Amino acid sequence: GKITDSEYWNRVSKQSGVPKKQLKGFRYALYSFSKPQAGMKELVRKIKKKYRVAVISSHVTGWVSIQDKIHGVSKEFHEQHFSYDYGVDKPDAELFIRAARKMKVNPKDCIVVDDMEKFLDSVKKTGARTILFKNAKQIKSELRKHGVKI
């Protein structure tokens, strides 16, 4: 969150000697390469009917906007919390703590699902329950073990 996406790519252009116009295509290819994991959109849609669902992410603004244009990611969650909005990044649990505070929820009432074990280890210390992401089927099973009705 200390510089904009444009500033970042301007620096990449300057330091690499690659023209900005050429990097524009590379930027789009890089940011659009990702896609939601199979089954996750459907699972999130089911969960959010009964529970508040938020995303906490370390992705940069450009990636977020392109993913939203391609996959409509933002509409799938009640809230979104990005590291660039808070000036703190994973694996620091402070990102989760600030998001929980903004949502006015107690960390102990949260289940955090992430694919970064180091982040989950730090989040556990706040009292939140955690699940290491592998795939949608596994997440569904783990959430049920935590009492989530799907």
Q: Is pLDDT at 1 greater than 80 in this prediction? A: no
pLDDT of residue 5: 86
Count the alpha carbons within 13 Å of 139 in the hemisphere toward its beta carbon: 20
Indicate the pTM of the whole model: 0.86
Catalogue the long-range contacts made by 39-44 (C-beta closer than 8 Å, 24 or more residues apart). 39/135, 39/136, 39/137, 40/136, 40/139, 41/76, 42/136, 43/136, 43/139, 43/140, 43/150, 44/76, 44/77
Give dist(CA 4, CA 10) in Å, integer: 10
For residue range 130-149, list pLDDT tens digits in order.
999 999 999 999 999 999 99
**Helix spans in the chain (H):** 5-16, 20-32, 40-47, 61-71, 83-86, 94-103, 117-124, 136-145
For residue range 38-97, list pLDDT tens digits in order.
999 999 999 999 999 999 998 888 888 999 999 998 899 999 999 989 989 999 999 999
